[in-house]
Amino acid sequence: MRWSTGCSKDARTVRSVDIVCEETDLVRGEVYIRHSNKCHASWAQVYFGFPLEKGETGNAEIRQFDSHKIFMRLYDCASPGGNGKVSPGQLSCYSAMVNNPAGNYARAQGVWSKNGIYFWGFGNTSYY
């Protein structure tokens, strides 16, 4: 979607954080907020350092907040406009975009699930 709209052309990474397994402190990947000034839009992207294995999935979520940091909406890789959750053998996915003009905020969360445990590892960015 962002390629057909041209939003990826001026996109830059504005926030990032590691995706960490709480039990082992293993860093499994990284989640980013990507932002396009041209489109006034932000989206989340997750990247895992090596392909996911059988029983693992990954996801990136973008949350939109108003000027008072009150939650408005959430999209993930499985939302229309995203490219689908990360499956075994894959490395990354991106979420649908949220409108993020000056005055609004966005945060991203990356999730690594293993053997049905959704939050096996995760990371949350700061606000942008």
Mean pLDDT, residues 4-21: 90
What CATH number should be reported for the domain holding residue 105?
Answer: 2.60.40
| pLDDT at position 53 | 95
Q: pLDDT tier at 41 (50, 70, 90 boundaries)? A: very high
Q: Are strands 27-36 and 41-48 parallel, antiparallel or unpaired?
A: antiparallel
50 within 8 A of 26, measured Cβ to Cβ: no
Assess contact for 56 and 50: CB atoms under 8 A: no
Distances from the Cα of 67 to the Cαs of 4, 33, 101, 105, 106, in angstroms?
A: 29, 18, 10, 7, 10
Give the number of C-alpha atoms closer than 13 A to the C-alpha of residue 5, restricted to the C-beta side: 15
- Quote the pTM value: 0.90
Kindly state the average pLDDT of the residues 91-98.
97
Domain extent, residue 49, equals: 2-124
The answer to which of 11-15, 18-22, 54-58, 75-79 has the lowest mean pLDDT is: 18-22
Closest CA to 15 of 105, 97, 86, 113: 105
Q: Taking 70 as the threshold, does the pLDDT of residue 5 lie above it?
A: no
Domains in the chain, number: 1
Instruction: Assign 1 a pLDDT band (cuts: 50, 70, 90).
Output: very low
